[in-house]
Chain A
């Protein structure tokens, strides 16, 4: 039982490049989330999903897209990376929605030059 896993762990991009971050969970959770964490700021919700095939915008969705084709996977895409997207990205999952306990992955540290 691995919980929530994220790939890659680290990535450096040049401005304008694209990439996809993968999140996988083996707890059969319905809800999945993508957050970003920046110095001096609390975690901010980018996008979330309440079930397979569904996605919704969070607090800071601009510049990101997501997909939830399979229940266990939640993908975060950056189509044209910008330096402002330099951050640590965390994926989380839960069985009860935002009111319930969320289980987090180890994070992906992304640097955009």
Chain B
């Protein structure tokens, strides 16, 4: 069964600190993995998309890594800001046939950055 599991479920850190969020998946055949940020009461916003051949990708203070062998990904946030408080969702795209793909959504990690 295709699944995406994220940890921790929630996290509280102090402003300025770094943190790492984890994503483990059992999705086959794998197409790509993306991380979304969802602010409370808003729609998800894409942070990164990584294919099988990419093992790291950055977007400002956000750096995502992918290990396709162990089926793990992480999202590292550097020098956190209050505006980083949000839910971070890992989404894996499973290739069904040709260009037809299915997205498997994780439940997200709720991050709170405190002053």
For the complex, give the distance between the alpha carbons of A102 and B102 in Å: 13
- A40–B99 CB distance below 8 A: no
Supposing A4-B43, A104-B45, A107-B43 touch, asked if A99 and B93 sit within 8 A by C-beta, the answer is yes
Q: How far is the CA of A107 from the CA of B44 in the complex (A)?
A: 10
**What B residues does A4 contact at CB under 8 A?**
43
Kindly identify, within residues 86 to 106 of chain A, every residue whose CB is under 8 Å from any CB belonging to chain B.
Answer: 90, 92, 97-106
The reply to whether the CB of B107 lies closer than 8 angstroms to some CB of chain A is: yes
Cβ-neighbour of A98 out of B45, B103, B107 (below 8 A): B103
Size category of the B interface is: 20 to 34
Does residue B62 face the partner (Cβ distance < 8 Å to A)?
A: no
Chain B: minimal CB distance from A71 (Å): 19
Minimum Cβ distance to chain A for residue B50 (Å)? 12
Inside 8 A of A2's CB, which chain B residues have their CB? none
Residues of B near any A CB (own CB < 8 A): 4, 31-32, 34, 41-46, 49, 89, 93, 95, 99-108
